[in-house]
Amino acid sequence: MLDARPVELFWTGGFDSTFRLLALLLDHRLPVQPSYLYDERRASAPIEVATMARIRATLAATHPQTRDLLLPTRTEPLPAHTPDDDIQRAFDALLRDHRIGDQYAFLSRWCRERGLRDVELSCEWGPRGTPHALEPYMTPAASPQGLPTFRLHRDAPEDFQRVFGVFTFPLIGMTKLEEAQIATLRGWNDILGETWFCHHPTRKQRPCGFCNPCQYALEEGFGARIPPSRRALSQLYNATLMPLRGFARQMRRRLRRYDVPRYR
One domain, residues 123 and 69: yes
CA atoms of 134 and 140, how far apart (whole Å): 13
One domain, residues 148 and 224: no
CA atoms of 123 and 151, how far apart (whole Å): 12
CA atoms of 188 and 237, how far apart (whole Å): 33
One domain, residues 145 and 15: yes
pTM: 0.85
In angstroms, the Cα distances linking 161 to 17, 36, 138, 148 are 22, 22, 11, 20
* Residue type for position 76: E
Is 188 inside a domain boundary? no
CA atoms of 213 and 28, how far apart (whole Å): 28
CA atoms of 156 and 61, how far apart (whole Å): 44
- pLDDT for the residue 126: 81
Across the chain, which distance is largest between two alpha carbons, in Å? Answer: 56
pLDDT digits (tens, 9 = 90+) for 160-216: 999 999 999 999 999 999 999 999 999 999 999 999 989 889 988 899 887 888 888
One domain, residues 98 and 16: yes
Phi then psi dihedrals of residue 220, to 5 deg: -95, 10
Give me the long-range contacts of 127-133 (CB less than 8 A, separation at least 24): 128/99, 129/99, 129/100, 129/101, 130/98, 130/99, 130/100, 130/101, 130/104, 131/172, 132/98, 133/94, 133/98, 133/99, 133/100
CB 136 within 8 A of CB 101: no
- pLDDT for the residue 21: 99
CA atoms of 235 and 170, how far apart (whole Å): 33
Is 84 inside a domain boundary? yes
One domain, residues 101 and 162: yes
Is 65 inside a domain boundary? yes
One domain, residues 167 and 219: no
Is 159 inside a domain boundary? yes
Domain region containing 103: 7-176
- pLDDT for the residue 233: 65
One domain, residues 15 and 86: yes
* Residue type for position 56: R
Is 217 inside a domain boundary? yes
CA atoms of 256 and 260, how far apart (whole Å): 6
Is 68 inside a domain boundary? yes
One domain, residues 170 and 209: no
Residues lower than pLDDT 50 in the chain = 256, 258-264
One domain, residues 214 and 171: no
- pLDDT for the residue 258: 47
One domain, residues 42 and 147: yes
